[in-house]
Structure 1
Amino acid sequence: MFQTLVTFVNWVPEIIWLLLITALILKITWTMWVHYIQQDFIAGIDFVLLEIVPPREVLRNPKAMELFFTNALYHWSLKGGREAYWQGAVWFWFSLEIASIEGQVHFYIRTPTRVRGLIETQMYAQYPQAQVKVVEDYTLSLDKNEKEEYKIDPISPVIELFGSLQKGEQMWMQIIVTPSKKEFHTKGTWFGHHDWVKESEKQLEKVLEPYTRLNPRPDGSGNAIEIRTPAYIDPIIKGINTKMMKIGFDTGIRCYYVAKKENWSMNSRRNIRLIFRQYANPYLNSLSRINATQADALGGGGFIGGFIMLSEKTVMILANRMLQEYRERSFFHLPMRHHILSRLPWPISPAIKEAAPPTNLPT
């Protein structure tokens, strides 16, 4: 009996190592499987590029684009086990793009063809006089030879900068959006997680904690909470509360400047980094650049770029910041009528096939 026990004890380290190696192999195998099926699913998504041509007079403020984001782009859904781990289904993502082709500004939405009809109808619902049409990918051409809101339009600096480009220059801005599923680790738990709304509540409690006092009630029934915040804290509290009441998107923004060698302008390259200053509030938050690259950067293609398998994580690595729809519409909406008309692609060629707004929309 004792000899058997000694033999078993001697085998314990080997058994533990065997279990650890088996668990590691299973983990790697599972990860590779999920990557493989997601790559296959993503490769099967058919995307279409829609150009949004604004009307000559946009009488709606940017709030209209907020409604468009909510109704057309927020595709939140729970994936079942068969969908997620057998079919490799991922949430759809959308690319909102502004491109300047030699000074002419274009608005694009890159969307899966499956929801193209929804994108078109919701755009017409908010901008009945706009035109939505299918176009070729403009990047392929490189291979060929409210009242106050009516007064101040935050997209104005972007349109003006994009519209100032000269022949041989191009600027592109891409905004990737998908419904937010960002999670935060719950303190005090091993595997607990919570969403961004709960995280906002925790941040609000953290802000209020220094100004919160518990006063014992005279009858001894407990404590009364008293919160006295200084005036300079009020904008922070209001901002957090406002965001918690809005729909959240995981968002990433990417900007490009490309030009022929003889037309290259260092000033244009520098200016594209400054077009987001109007969105900054140093006291609360602002946008900051997290990465920069150039066309011949290592890993952009070839062996290294092709070795990384396409999965939901690699596709959405850009969209790892969270914005609400009322923030999104500040970056992407049809400019209002006071903008210079020559910046936008008018007139429209009659030879181009265009979609027409549904006849049953309210007027």
Structure 2
Amino acid sequence: MITIDLSYFDNFINVSPPAAIWRLFVDGGWIVVLWALLWGFWESWKFWRQNLYGATRRFVFLAVDIPKTSIDSPSQSPRAVENFFAHLDGAHASDTLWEKYWEGKTQDFFSFEIVSVEGYIQYVIRTRDKFRDLVEAAIYAQYPEAEITEISDYAASAPSKYPDPEYKMFGTEWIPVKDEVYPLRTYLDFEDALTKEFKDPMAAILENMAKMGTGEQLWYQITVTPISQKGWVAKGEKVVKKLIGAKIKEKKSLFAKIFDLPIKIIDAVMGQVVSSGAASAPKKDDVPSQMLYLSPGEKTKVEAIEKKISKIGFKTKMRVVYLAKKEVYQKTRAIHTMVGAVKQYNTMDCQSIKPEYDKVGTTAHYFFTRLRVKWKQQKLMSAYKGRSNWRGMGTGFVCNIEELASLWHFPAAWIKSPAVKTVESKRGVAPVNLPIEGSEIGIGYFKKKENRPTA
């Protein structure tokens, strides 16, 4: 019989709280305090070193314009953008312990954006300057006649503090409903199996952006961070095995193995004692899986996950910001239409993404609403301007290159939105209709800074 001695706590009955706390500290509580201090120091050290490293980064903003002749080509479908994203995985780095914890080095990432300033639409890529050649090479490999121009940051002069006397803003970011290994609908699902007609899901997003009027802006941002493929692929394989009823072999830590050793010895001894008196029954082989007994829907789900993990994945964060002058501000017209357009990629059996309004979205209910909305607006605008891949709802979720190419790609030829910036030829002077006046924010930043030479 096991008895628990509680007499130790009798020492705290007739002593003052400070004396009781000191007694607990001396009798082993110092270990917890020391661990907390060491953990805090370690996290502060990493944060400090990473900030120092981050200050050394230099970024460039590239406006990408695709000639109509390239868009008209059947070969330049979202599949070309999928190949482009696969090319960018070359930026993934395996850092040494010295680089990670002394130099503060973190994984570099990219930001892919579509910007509407008063209805004028521009595709923008932000990249670290050392990866500019990588990005341009990847684009030219798929779109040889593309025009890539360095521009200034269109978001830099937007208000950072709210409420602002002139502008109002609303924004949020998207989060997955299920585990990140479940796939979204991709561009392949928008192609008719018989006629091969492609209904571009980007059309709804671009048409919504084209409707922005004077004093209105709509920003769509996807941050893409290269990651190690081993972890999320293994996670997907584990989910698949669980769905098909296959046995999952879990790797145990060294501590768990040591803890399990006495139990295994006892089980072995008891097994010998029990089996010595009677013949043991023949052991049945484990069924490898229940795949034959799955419903058609369950089989489709398994196949979809296996297809997703077969392609390169990136950590992804999606944001949208609507910024407008107070006299023309119409949140419903901009945001609700954008949310509806993104819902095209959702499925009920696999993955869905939804706008997050509780912690990140610039809304609040019941208590201190104005103060909470102000904090959320400032945090979201700071995250957008910094192209942060960790602020908000964590580090995001994994999208593979097929999903990314569906969420961000150049429009199909049949999309009628005249505001999407395209070029007629490979190189030329700045288009005469390029707006450089009007709104005080954004438009002027699409003026050319530099045209890269071409071979």
TM range (shorter): 0.7 to 0.9
The 1-side partners of 2:321 and 2:237 are apart by 36
How many residue pairs get aligned? The number is 325
Partner residue in 1 for 2:312 = 247
CA contact (8 A) 2:362 2:376 kept: no
CA contact (8 A) 2:346 2:352 kept: yes
Judged with a 3 Å threshold, the aligned counterparts in structure 2 of structure 1 residues 343 and 150 are, in CA distance, closer, same or farther, namely farther
CA contact (8 A) 2:201 2:341 kept: no
* Residue correspondence of structure 1 range 165-314 to structure 2 within 5 A: 165-180=212-227, 195-209=231-245, 222=285, 225=288, 227-228=291-292, 229-265=294-330, 266-291=332-357, 292-293=361-362, 297-298=374-375, 301=378, 314=390
Judged with a 3 Å threshold, the aligned counterparts in structure 2 of structure 1 residues 155 and 195 are, in CA distance, closer, same or farther, namely same
Pick the aligned partner of 2:419 from 333, 343, 351: 343
SS of the residue corresponding to residue 234 of structure 1 reads helix
Judged with a 3 Å threshold, the aligned counterparts in structure 2 of structure 1 residues 346 and 80 are, in CA distance, closer, same or farther, namely closer
Deviations 1:243-283 (A, max 9, x none): 12011111110001111112112322322222202111112
Pick the aligned partner of 2:87 from 27, 46, 71: 71
Deviation at 1:85, TM superposition (A): 0.7
The 2-side partners of 1:24 and 1:268 are apart by 46
What amino acid sits opposite 2:451 in the alignment? E
Partner residue in 2 for 1:45 = 57
Partner residue in 1 for 2:131 = 115
- Could you list the runs of 5+ residues in structure 2 that have no partner in the other structure? 1-22, 160-165, 168-187, 247-281, 364-371, 424-428, 432-446
Partner residue in 2 for 1:14 = 26
Q: TM-score, normalised by structure 1?
A: 0.79
Deviation at 1:75, TM superposition (A): 2.5
Deviation at 1:106, TM superposition (A): 0.7
Partner residue in 1 for 2:200 = 153
- Could you list the runs of 5+ residues in structure 1 that have no partner in the other structure? 1-10, 183-193, 211-218
Q: Does 1:324 align with 2:400?
A: yes
CA contact (8 A) 2:57 2:128 kept: yes
The 2-side partners of 1:270 and 1:151 are apart by 25
Deviation at 1:222, TM superposition (A): 4.4
What amino acid sits opposite 2:150 in the alignment? V
Q: Does 1:354 align with 2:451?
A: yes
CA contact (8 A) 1:51 1:134 kept: yes
Shifted more, 321-330 versus 267-276: the winner is 267-276
The 1-side partners of 2:315 and 2:403 are apart by 12
Question: In percent, how many aligned pairs have the same letter?
Answer: 24
Partner residue in 2 for 1:124 = 140
SS of the residue corresponding to residue 342 of structure 1 reads coil
Deviation at 1:73, TM superposition (A): 4.5
The 2-side partners of 1:314 and 1:224 are apart by 42
Deviation at 1:76, TM superposition (A): 2.3
